Structure 1
Amino acid sequence: MSAPEDYDSLKAKGKKVIGTMSAFLNGTQILDAKTITYVRGNEVYMFFGESDDQSRVILSFPEALDPNEIHTVSYPKNFEGLNSSWQAADKNSPLTVKKGSLTQLKFFDSGKRSFEGTFDIDLENDLGKLIGKFHIPK
């Protein structure tokens, strides 16, 4: 897998849209975002929520997904050969993603710009689990 783009360059390229993303680290809420930044990359769509205290979750899904179906996306399994990396931070302290999944990923338009789903992430170094949900309305 190629090296991921850094957070600042993703943020600069992204489009901020109305939406929500919440994330819980081992049961404690670390993110309650009211906007989501959306970036169409090369063969992937990346999106992330962030808070004022620098907590954030960066997720993605392959461009090839059929917008008329509900999907489960596994990371890193479904990203072989794609330049994509899931990332997270709690108050700007990195949380390295070991593996994870997007479930019930449902699109509201054919352009894949409005969607919702949940995520479940296992973190490296015995840091536990990061779970949450996201919603970008049509």
Structure 2
Amino acid sequence: MIKISLKRIILLFSTIFVFSSCLSTIQLATQETPIELIPRNKVMGGFSFVIPDNFRFLNEQSLIYDYRGDIRAYLVYAGKASTVQLINFFTDYMPEKGWKPDFATVSTDGMLAFKKEDRLIVIKIVPDVAGISYLKILLTK
């Protein structure tokens, strides 16, 4: 009798834990994204570009190669915004920095490329289920 009660208590706590974890993930996913993304200027070598102000640089996931001032980089940023908001943001603000759209593909993810002289910036937008979007940016020639 005690073994059955103990099993029921363990099962009850396990179920509560699973549902509370799911609820916290759903709450994160349903929080509103920012209405307006504010551009923040970034300069790296010969690259001058914009990032939404609410996005944070993830140093541990990024790689920067600097050979005598010649920069190549793979940069990762994380923040809250939808794929559509980010595509609109980059298509609005990158031309102000002199970047010309080169190509774009859009699905649940998005990929944009911009050219300026001999330089190329490729931006991949990767949303996750918790409402966080990752910007994976390649700076190259």
Both proteins in one fold, TM over 0.5 = no
**Between structures 1 and 2, the one with greater helix share:** 2
Which structure: larger Rg? 2
- Structure with higher RCO (Cα < 8 A, 6+ apart): 1
TM-score (norm 2): 0.29
**Between structures 1 and 2, the one with greater strand share:** 1
